[in-house]
Chains A and B, each alone.
Chain A
């Protein structure tokens, strides 16, 4: 990997020296082209034929004997994170708008866990166990196939069509992934966009479904899709920004430092997953543009639209229509004109969007997430997570978000969102029995919530901060997006914001123009009288 740091925009002004030094420090401190000092293909422990993926782990930890201890302490393992404000977040505790809850579905969810499958009951935490090193350190690009498909992952977790398309492809094109586990073990190396992306690009049920700014187009990104990830740009991998200490990665959305960060980082601590850590807070050549960075996050202008790589993201998911079976009582799949699954018996109706415009909100980096059983907002939309921040707190910035609307089941008696039991061998699992009462009962039981048996569906909404897919600067928002008489009025709905050129003081304009008009009429009347009397004097 080569970092073209000379191509970073030149910084003008008083902090030039500081940032210049910082950049030099940063890139000399982080070995960007690391020649490995160990050739894994020569290790005796890796010369054996591996019959299953867990055996590889045993070989890894034979040498890397503290790696597992480190990983057991990470968010990737625990799915549980204690925030400074006392909240306990992480997948284990919060819900989302896609496959909302883990309790009762832990075994299916385990396909993305960095271990080898999860226990049935993980609500009290995920116990230390063998770690799947290759999930992140495979360099062949094939391991994920073995991991997800030989380890019995639930198809519908990643494929809205239940993997029908994949099964067809295997039938017509034959087995694609034929590398042996031994070959993969011998070629282990640094993490890559491919390894991170094998989970993070496919969550939410399909490629690009969840985040909106993360999808498989980043594997080989066009410059126009992502200037950082593209080989024509900075040629970053995920870990260029999401660096790690003892396997703990920076940049979790549970701790969104991107907003409040207004300083560069010490060269000794390496990159931080924020724009400012490399670019500073006044990186633009036009100082008036730089003046915006106190309230406008970089992302707001530089991610003008998202889902730009040709892969759509989900904008709506209606669980209430799930369960419709075909004539032979089998689950069915409907595909829209773009080839995307618009209906699946297992999931209901789904809608997608590409080149979407974000919604903009004040954001101070904190997000309030909800736990299973969250109270339903009976007056309207139930927010799955609540963006924190305001124009008044002095730290918030206007930030872009992807939003998805999801129609979720709730208990009409307790007015609580109900966890769904989706996957598993039991008939209580919705994807087996297509029976909501049973599914919700089992889901509630696993999460330790009462279920009255009466349920309905309610509209919920979830917001995702957009950080990736930064566009080339030519595509960044221009003044006109927000300012001026012919503006797109992009930030008009953001509260507590004075935007020059949006005529927010109608009274000022009204009285101003009135005063001008009266003055004009006054002088015009005076002038007319003057002319009239002058003319009359001449007549006399």
Chain B
């Protein structure tokens, strides 16, 4: 069975730059973060703190640009959740993927992500990352809490640390699932290649209006 495919430019250069820088920074922060948490000794506590904090600031700058990019280009629309195709996508992962059924979803410039991805990435962007950011920034500015009136509200370092670690575990969960699910393309490396080059091969007949 040979599908007729076309190459479409799915991920723009900034998107790819954002994705990979973020990936490196998050993994670096996970490694140093769990060292700071006391799970193991790798860089030494002081160095781990430095790497963690510098990475955090770099990521914050990156995210400011990324949020701006999402809003100005309308890219945020790719993360608006939809019911359409959601059941098929879930069924595909539970059944079709084993029987060799065709992918129910194919990326297009209008919809880069399948309905499950939309939900997962949205949760990542509006829940996990804000959670780890908010707790992380509070952690970082611990000594200003009194001036901000947070101490009176009963906020403690312990609470913030627990939330931060909890969010870190959630992010790790996401990472494991993400690393696995990107292997579920037509070939194991299809999606990874797309994120590196920006170009993805999509079946022609699947698009309603093939752009030949």
Chain B interface size, as a band, is 35 or more
Does B107 belong to the interface (CB within 8 Å)?
Answer: no
Q: Is there contact, CB below 8 Å, between A479 and B38?
A: no
Q: Evaluate whether A288 and B49 lie within 8 angstroms (CB atoms) in the complex, with A485-B38, A515-B173, A533-B98 already known.
A: yes
B20-28, B79-87, B160-168, B194-202 - the one binding chain A? B160-168
Q: Is there contact, CB below 8 Å, between B162 and A291?
A: no
Q: Is there contact, CB below 8 Å, between A478 and B46?
A: yes
User: Which residue from A294, A501, A519 sits with its C-beta under 8 Å from B38?
Assistant: A501
Q: Is there contact, CB below 8 Å, between B176 and A526?
A: no
Tell me the bound Cα distance from A288 to B139 in angstroms.
Answer: 11
Tell me the bound Cα distance from A526 to B39 in angstroms.
Answer: 29
User: Which residue from A394, A480, A509, A516 sits with its C-beta under 8 Å from B173?
Assistant: A516
Does B172 belong to the interface (CB within 8 Å)?
Answer: yes
CB interface residues, A 479-530, toward B, < 8 Å: 479-480, 483-487, 498, 500-505, 508-509, 512, 515-516, 519-520, 523, 526-527, 529-530
User: Which residue from B46, B146, B169 sits with its C-beta under 8 Å from A479?
Assistant: B46
Tell me the bound Cα distance from A487 to B48 in angstroms.
Answer: 14
CB distance from A465 to the nearest CB of B (A): 24
Residues of chain A with a CB closer than 8 A to B67's CB: none
CB distance from A34 to the nearest CB of B (A): 40
Q: Evaluate whether A484 and B45 lie within 8 angstroms (CB atoms) in the complex, with A294-B143, A515-B173, A530-B97 already known.
A: yes
Tell me the bound Cα distance from A520 to B180 in angstroms.
Answer: 9
Q: Which partner residue on chain B sits nearest A516 by CB separation?
A: B172
Residues of chain A with a CB closer than 8 A to B46's CB: 478-480
Q: Is there contact, CB below 8 Å, between A502 and B38?
A: yes
Does A171 belong to the interface (CB within 8 Å)?
Answer: no
Does B70 belong to the interface (CB within 8 Å)?
Answer: no
CB interface residues, B 15-61, toward A, < 8 Å: 35-41, 44-46, 48-49, 53
Q: Evaluate whether A520 and B156 lie within 8 angstroms (CB atoms) in the complex, with A479-B45, A484-B41, A534-B100 already known.
A: no
Does B209 belong to the interface (CB within 8 Å)?
Answer: no
Most chain A CB within 10 A, of B45, B97, B142, is at: B45
Residue interface mask B165-195, A partner, CB < 8 A = 1:
1100100110011001101100000000000
Q: How many residues of A contact B (CB 8 A)?
A: 35
Tell me the bound Cα distance from A480 to B36 in angstroms.
Answer: 11
Does B3 belong to the interface (CB within 8 Å)?
Answer: no
Q: Evaluate whether A520 and B98 lie within 8 angstroms (CB atoms) in the complex, with A484-B41, A501-B37 already known.
A: no
Tell me the bound Cα distance from A291 to B183 in angstroms.
Answer: 45
User: Which residue from B162, B176, B181 sits with its C-beta under 8 Å from A505?
Assistant: B162
Residues of chain B with a CB closer than 8 A to A485's CB: 35, 38-41
Residues of chain A with a CB closer than 8 A to B97's CB: 530
Residues of chain A with a CB closer than 8 A to B99's CB: 533
Q: Is there contact, CB below 8 Å, between A516 and B176?
A: yes
Q: Is there contact, CB below 8 Å, between B143 and A501?
A: no
User: Which residue from A288, A480, A519 sits with its C-beta under 8 Å from B44?
Assistant: A480
Residues of chain B with a CB closer than 8 A to A516's CB: 169, 172-173, 176
Residue interface mask A304-329, B partner, CB < 8 A = 1:
00000000000000000000000000
CB distance from B109 to the nearest CB of A (A): 28
Q: Is there contact, CB below 8 Å, between A523 and B180?
A: yes
Q: Is there contact, CB below 8 Å, between A483 and B38?
A: yes
Q: Which partner residue on chain B sits nearest A532 by CB separation?
A: B98
Tell me the bound Cα distance from A246 to B35 in angstroms.
Answer: 55
Does A425 belong to the interface (CB within 8 Å)?
Answer: no
Q: Is there contact, CB below 8 Å, between B143 and A291?
A: yes
Residues of chain A with a CB closer than 8 A to B165's CB: 505, 508, 512
Q: Which partner residue on chain A sits nearest B98 by CB separation?
A: A533
Q: Which partner residue on chain B sits nearest A513 by CB separation?
A: B169
Tell me the bound Cα distance from A529 to B98 in angstroms.
Answer: 7
Tell me the bound Cα distance from A494 to B39 in angstroms.
Answer: 21
Does A537 belong to the interface (CB within 8 Å)?
Answer: yes
Q: Evaluate whether A508 and B143 lie within 8 angstroms (CB atoms) in the complex, with A484-B45, A503-B38, A519-B173 already known.
A: no
CB distance from A200 to the nearest CB of B (A): 36
Q: Is there contact, CB below 8 Å, between A503 and B37?
A: yes
CB distance from B166 to the nearest CB of A (A): 7
Residues of chain A with a CB closer than 8 A to B177's CB: 519, 523
Does B157 belong to the interface (CB within 8 Å)?
Answer: yes
CB distance from A179 to the nearest CB of B (A): 54
CB distance from B38 to the nearest CB of A (A): 4
Q: Which partner residue on chain A sits nearest B49 by CB separation?
A: A288
Most chain B CB within 10 A, of A290, A500, A509, is at: A500
CB distance from B160 to the nearest CB of A (A): 9
Residues of chain A with a CB closer than 8 A to B166's CB: 508, 512
CB distance from A400 to the nearest CB of B (A): 21
User: Which residue from A294, A394, A498 sits with its C-beta under 8 Å from B161?
Assistant: A498
Q: Is there contact, CB below 8 Å, between B36 and A501?
A: yes
Q: Which partner residue on chain B sits nearest A394 by CB separation?
A: B151
Q: Which partner residue on chain B sits nearest A537 by CB separation?
A: B100
Q: Which partner residue on chain A sits nearest B179 by CB separation?
A: A523
Binding site for A on B (CB under 8 A): 35-41, 44-46, 48-49, 53, 93, 97-100, 142-143, 146, 151, 156-158, 161-162, 165-166, 169, 172-173, 176-177, 180-181, 183-184
Instruction: Knowing that A516-B169, A533-B98 touch, tell me 10 more A-B residue pairs with CB under 8 angstroms.
Output: A290-B143, A294-B143, A483-B36, A483-B38, A498-B158, A501-B45, A503-B38, A516-B172, A523-B181, A526-B93
29 A-B pairs with CB atoms under 8 Å apart are: A288-B49, A288-B53, A394-B151, A479-B45, A480-B46, A484-B35, A484-B38, A484-B41, A485-B40, A486-B41, A487-B38, A498-B161, A500-B37, A501-B37, A501-B45, A504-B158, A505-B162, A505-B165, A508-B165, A512-B166, A515-B169, A516-B169, A516-B176, A519-B173, A519-B176, A523-B181, A526-B180, A530-B97, A530-B184
